Homo-oligomer: A and B are copies of this chain.
Amino acid sequence: MHSSLLAVNESTVSGLGRLARFFGFSEVMGRLYGTLLMNPEPLSLDDLAETLEISKGSVSMNMRSLERWGMAKEVWVRGERKKYYTAEPDFWQVIRNVLSSREQREVQVALHVLRDSIDKLRAAEVELTPEERALAVFYLERIGDLQSFFQFAQLALGTILGSEETINFDTITKVEIG
């Protein structure tokens, strides 16, 4: 195989490994996804283990994670008993999965905790000494700032996820906040 193809493959695989880390997944998951993405044909567990030079056990577990996240799926190959996988090629779909099943929930939990804190402080107000009351006011201010941030995050996620149809990245010319 020509060296340029090998080099491009390698840099894509390691780049996706990096991206996976960034999104809080294991690097191996990213590399597996990358390997599948850069292969026109489906690959078996053994193929993947051999290509990435990692144990079959690791491939097995990481592939199941990839499946759960909708980043890869099993395909049937005629006359073969092995499991074969392909990458979900719609990157947008993958991002949507991650953002909606993980990030969005995180943000909502955070907002919930903040709201609880505010309620707690308001409820306790009558029992506080003057100094404590001053501190409570200070807390409310800081918590309000955090709330604003998470509300922004919620809004941004909602916007990205809200558009039902697949966003065609190529046609985006502007991201507006207002």
Contact = CB atoms under 8 A, between A and B. Distances in A.
Contact of A121 (B1, B8, B143): B8
A174 B169 contact: no
Report how many copies the assembly holds.
2
A158 B177 CA distance: 11
B135 A40 contact: yes
Interface size for chain A: under 10, 10 to 19, 20 to 34, or 35 or more residues?
Answer: 35 or more
Interface residues of chain A: helix, strand, loop or mixed (majority)? helix
B175 A2 contact: no
Contacts of A142: 12, 37-38, 89
A11 interface: yes
A160 B159 CA distance: 15
Given A91-B146, A117-B12, A149-B169, A138 B40 contact: yes
